[in-house]
Structure 1
Amino acid sequence: MTIEHTDRSTDVVEHPEQFTNPGLPPHRPRLGDEDPKANKLSERIVLAIFTVSVLASIASIVGYFAIPVDPEAGSMGNTRLSTIVIGVGLGLGMLGIGVAAIHWAKSLMNDHDKVEERHEIAGDEETRGTAVEMFNEGVRDASIARRPLLKGAVGGALALAPLPFLVPLIGNLGGDWDVSRFKRTAWAPGDNGDRVYLATDPTNRRIKAAEVTVGSLFHVMPWNLPEHPNYLDEKAKAVVLLVRLDPQDLKETEERASWSYDGIVAYSKICTHVGCPVALYERETHHLLCPCHQSTFDVTDEAKVVFGPAGRALPQLPIDVDENGYLVAQRDFDEPIGPSFWERER
């Protein structure tokens, strides 16, 4: 049996040093470029979007004054409604400007492709002059001077858009800046010396130590706090996270050995960075995580910072149980809660 081997030469294709420029595809005119009615409709759409932006910004400002937040009312209703109105108005106001600008550029401005050869970054006087002329050409292309309604709409939208930011800020500049209020919370014993019970937030139910299982987490506030005349202010300072660990996992100093009860520890829920609520608990690592800037605190080691921008540990609430097994606060925090401030003293 004879097998023939055939040698086939491989054709070598040399790549050209430079490819031919295929050029730009043919320009396809838009409907508004050929139909004046369609062009006018696009202008009205842009005007309508800017109008929505203006009205949304105005609604946000009106909502700030029309729905005052009364901390003494003891209800979160006004707070939620005010936040929703301001947030939605602010969001629609800013979104309207962006959407209107995009629609304006896509439907009313020149859409012809332009090619510019690459050149050195540093340009001479002629190049800079050309750049200025190109900028002016873009302004003329926007036809802002020939569209007075759009000029007024975009001016009004841009003028009103920052106000939902500024009005609440300016309105609160004259508020109460007494930071000494953070040195005392509702966990402090009353005038009669009675200790304060730990209760579930927001159901206001007292907690027994027996129902706190290892690995569980409770959001806690002082019992009957909703009856306080300044409920919202006091709750903002007094919210606490309650966790039960295996007592062998706790690393307690001699000073704090009596602050926990059978592995149950309580720490302020207010992050020591900028005051966000620390509400995420990693059961496997025993870490508390702040969702705002990822500050992480080790529950087993007196809530010390293990990661993130927070500058100090979460304040610990000393706890105990009464004769019926209910958890109570021994006293208030031994340091101010929340972010650091100049007058803070331990």
Structure 2
Amino acid sequence: MTSFTLADVRERTYKKRDAWWTVFLVDPLASRMVVLTANRTGITPNQITFGAGVLGLGSAVCFALASWPWLVAGAVLFHLSFVLDCMDGKIARLKGNGSVFGAWVDFVFDRVRFFGCMMALLIGQWAATGQVAYLLLAPVVTFLDLLRYLNGAQVAKTRQSMRAKLRAAAQGATVDSMVEDDPESTETRREPGADGDADGEGEGEATPVVFVEEALRDDPSATPDQVRAGTNAPEDARVIDVHRGFDQRFGWYGRLRATLLRSRVRPHLFSGIEFEMFVCVVAPLTALVALVTALPSLIIAVTVLSCAALAVFELLIVYKLWLATRDFAVELHRLRHEN
């Protein structure tokens, strides 16, 4: 029987970069629970996902009861539910027993859990206090959570499309007309004679392509200038950078990014994970602050600040993407003319 170690979990299941909440507040506990679960039980990832859903349901019930002891209990249960949610993916990667359907179930459970707990928290507080602000916050939180999912997916597709076109241009391929019209497509076709194949009957070895952002993600100790100079790239590689404009405007960002990535923390400091945790963990835990200090409830304040922080970081992502599309056009023009 295979005996997994903590080192195995870290090497095989940790993401190269993750949300700071996950890195510092979830992984230290989840990784140890994964070692215990993987070595001593036959529990499957789907069963762990179901367990996370049960804890999420318990959290929602606690939030609906509205008084401060139940709010604290709900916050703890929500966080533990998220720990289990991180465990199912780690178990799947560690033991190789994940499934496509399991990934779908995990995603759906995540959304149902957050929506149910958030609504239970806000409606429960409205019922207990009569403050209409709680009801007004519910659609705002729902909209922002939906927006960040849609925006994240579309930004990822746009970046993938840009990289596919730049890689094709660097390797002497011609982007098919359908690619030009469909940003989600990454199909390319090779020109006859490309890569040194004079008669077009065989396929030559493709030119290595290195994207600066990906190289920095793989090696946080490197600097953008080192990558652009080809220091860490194969000798004949084409180095492509679509974030030069952003780096020129925000020179400090590269240093901050490298510092964060050395700890596996992604620069997107207030992502969906932090948003969920602040709304369903930090906000209800402030009931303790109100109890000890006799101050008004801070649930509304924390939720509003969380919405504002998420909106700001989503706008920053869009701004960075806009600058990248401008650099993309310049790089594509250069590569096509060089070939």
Choose between structure 1 and 2: higher strand proportion.
1
**Same fold (TM > 0.5):** no
- With normalisation by structure 2, the TM-score equals 0.26
| Structure of higher CA gyration radius | 1
Choose between structure 1 and 2: higher helix proportion.
2
* Greater RCO (CA < 8 Å, at least 6 residues apart): 2
